Structure 1
């Protein structure tokens, strides 16, 4: 553990998990409602898709800003401000009368929710060395995955029993509960504040990170792996409901397969991160990712028209992400420990920006089939494996 943190009051892991889960819950809970939302607000598929794409764009840009701010002002104030924005924006979404208001609300919801996502990663790195941080992040994301796993089911039932607005009422209340808990129980972990945070210096720090081959390899490999998932969530709800005939609640139940795959990967990461080097864990994730994509291509080739066509290979992809994301992000934010917040923010920005681009591409080329989604998943997987294999060095070669 970092010696400078011996006097730091460690936040309970449950608080960190709840903070990290706010953004993913808001992202996933309304996915089953997107077809009905499109009809309710009298808009088109490509426009309603912006509630997902711009959510990811806002998440990406906010992480780019919130990381350095947490280095300068501390983790606690940034988290509290972010959750407050999340609450207000969620209520705004619930009362939206048109698609434009909903999109604006989603942008601010994402900006607030990602404070918990990016800053909690930096808090873990404040307190632990890389291997221990990887293990903790693995267990955190494994438990945290329960929320995104259950949220599509809950969102699907809320949509059927009430309307798509009910999901936003729920996340508003959850945000308020997490804010109150964080205000009372969350202590500061960053006691080495970076005072010199002018724009030019921030850009210089980002430049310092992106010229490091190790950092870039971790981030790009993780980002393209995540892009496979983002391609899936962009195309799957409409394909599953409109082509395969699934009800929103049924889509939520099938999504459990994906979340269980992700949790399995997180468990593997948490169990073995302190025993195996990060590069070996990433090789393992690449093998699982390749297997999932091969199954997807095979099902596409034989024309297998069943929900399993989507969800079996995606569960393998999710398992791969469950292994890769804790290891990739821990490796990235450990490149320059003093700039853990900045490194975490830039990594999150690159990861989510790529995800936003992928969701836009899937929506733009939507033709009523799974083809745009599958093509984006395959291409993203290829790049993920290449970056991990070619740019991430052995542990003995890591940059100090």
Structure 2
């Protein structure tokens, strides 16, 4: 594989480009979270209804990822990313001018094409480097990417206060144009072993699906992400309804979990090769559980301030940042020749689980229950992730990453 040269599409993409395509995908998901209550009011629907813009998006993302991986394995990473960005731009234009909830939801679901940025950034990294180095590089890519969703809700809240919720989609469109231009100039093709046909890919899937390692790593990704998606589903209700925050103030609260995630990614990028993916996943999941227990303890003690609830989310984010790069590197390393398909399928499962936890966490929150039900969902996700990691470590004597440690 050639050395990456910035703005040279004959070479592998620069890390800046990988950060940009992954970051745009994350931004599209969360920029308008602080504006959800005002959007519900504007369209005359309940918060539960408008929340489909998050839960429906996550569920649709799961389906899109199933197709994105095989498309990139068959036709290449570059054309798949470019096509997904074009679809994003068209659907975002429709969101900007939507006058009814049905049009908005339909266009919002089409925006999920941008998930190719997250799926294929991992596959591209695995095309370029071996597993241990991939875990480190994915950590750095995700760290850079996290800057975008860290400021996304804050930016969205400010735009919502100043210009209304439609300004969030104007921002997505403008940034999408910039990223498309960057991809066209810099993203060289990295898939040098393309599948001969879709049927050949699907014939190879049983071997992937029969792998205990694939399911183990996917379970870690799913449950670790599930805690984050439960937070995304419930935090707008907690901040806007229970704590009476404005969109801009609520947007600021998301900095805690995003900043922690960025810190975890940095540590993962720096130390994954030294300590191994297994130890990074285990340490990260334990941190995530601790970050969930701290605000729960504050609530039980009668401390219900915004800082007491949102502040400890930095620990949850840090744990996710430690765990996910190593788990995703494991997913795309089980069958390297199916890296795109493995990344897409695993991501689809994780997003499907995320949609479920997001809907469940938001549906069980009421003024009477307070924030505790959401924290219990996050805690359950953490415990299930621990169980998956322990299975990977001790459940299969042929496990690839036990050999890696030896």
- TM > 0.5 between the two? yes
Task: Please list, as runs of the form range in 1=range in 2, the aligned pairs for 1:1-400 lying within 5 A after superposition.
Answer: 9-110=11-112, 112-198=113-199, 201-368=200-367, 369-392=370-393, 393=399, 395-397=401-403
Is the 2:259–2:314 Cα contact (8 Å) retained in structure 1?
yes
Is the 2:22–2:117 Cα contact (8 Å) retained in structure 1?
yes
Alignment partners' CA distance in 1, 2:269 and 2:92: 32
Q: Following TM superposition, where does structure 1 have runs of at least 4 consecutive aligned residues deviating by more than 3 angstroms?
A: 201-206
Deviations, residues 259-302 of structure 1 (Å, cap 9, x unaligned): 11001100110010111111111121122122112213312322
Cα drift, residue 242 of structure 1: 1.4
Is the 1:2–1:126 Cα contact (8 Å) retained in structure 2?
no
Task: Describe the SS at the equivalent of 1:145.
Answer: helix
Is the 2:285–2:320 Cα contact (8 Å) retained in structure 1?
no
Alignment partners' CA distance in 2, 1:37 and 1:261: 29
Alignment partners' CA distance in 1, 2:82 and 2:180: 7
Alignment partners' CA distance in 2, 1:46 and 1:396: 44
Is the 1:332–1:347 Cα contact (8 Å) retained in structure 2?
yes
Alignment partners' CA distance in 2, 1:34 and 1:123: 34
Cα drift, residue 208 of structure 1: 1.9
Cα drift, residue 179 of structure 1: 0.9
Alignment partners' CA distance in 2, 1:89 and 1:57: 17
Q: 1:46 to 1:205 in 2, by over 3 A?
A: farther
Task: Describe the SS at the equivalent of 1:191.
Answer: coil
Cα drift, residue 253 of structure 1: 1.7
Is the 1:216–1:391 Cα contact (8 Å) retained in structure 2?
no
Is the 2:237–2:362 Cα contact (8 Å) retained in structure 1?
no
Is the 1:2–1:128 Cα contact (8 Å) retained in structure 2?
no
Q: 1:207 to 1:306 in 2, by over 3 A?
A: farther
Deviating more after overlay: 207-216 vs 72-81 = 207-216
Tell me what 2:396 maps to: none
The number of aligned residues is 392
Cα drift, residue 313 of structure 1: 2.7
Gap runs ≥5 in structure 1: none
Alignment partners' CA distance in 2, 1:148 and 1:73: 30
Gap runs ≥5 in structure 2: 4-8, 394-398
Using structure 2 for the length normalisation, give the TM-score: 0.93
Alignment partners' CA distance in 1, 2:302 and 2:378: 17
Task: Describe the SS at the equivalent of 1:274.
Answer: helix
Using structure 1 for the length normalisation, give the TM-score: 0.94
Deviations, residues 184-243 of structure 1 (Å, cap 9, x unaligned): 222111111111322xx5444333223211121111012101110100111111211111
Alignment partners' CA distance in 1, 2:302 and 2:278: 36
Task: Describe the SS at the equivalent of 2:55.
Answer: helix
Deviations, residues 43-62 of structure 1 (Å, cap 9, x unaligned): 11111010001111111111
Alignment partners' CA distance in 2, 1:167 and 1:75: 28
Task: Describe the SS at the equivalent of 2:334.
Answer: coil
Deviations, residues 327-360 of structure 1 (Å, cap 9, x unaligned): 0000111011111111111111111111001112
Is the 1:221–1:384 Cα contact (8 Å) retained in structure 2?
yes
Alignment partners' CA distance in 2, 1:381 and 1:300: 19
Deviations, residues 103-135 of structure 1 (Å, cap 9, x unaligned): 11110001x211111112111110100111111
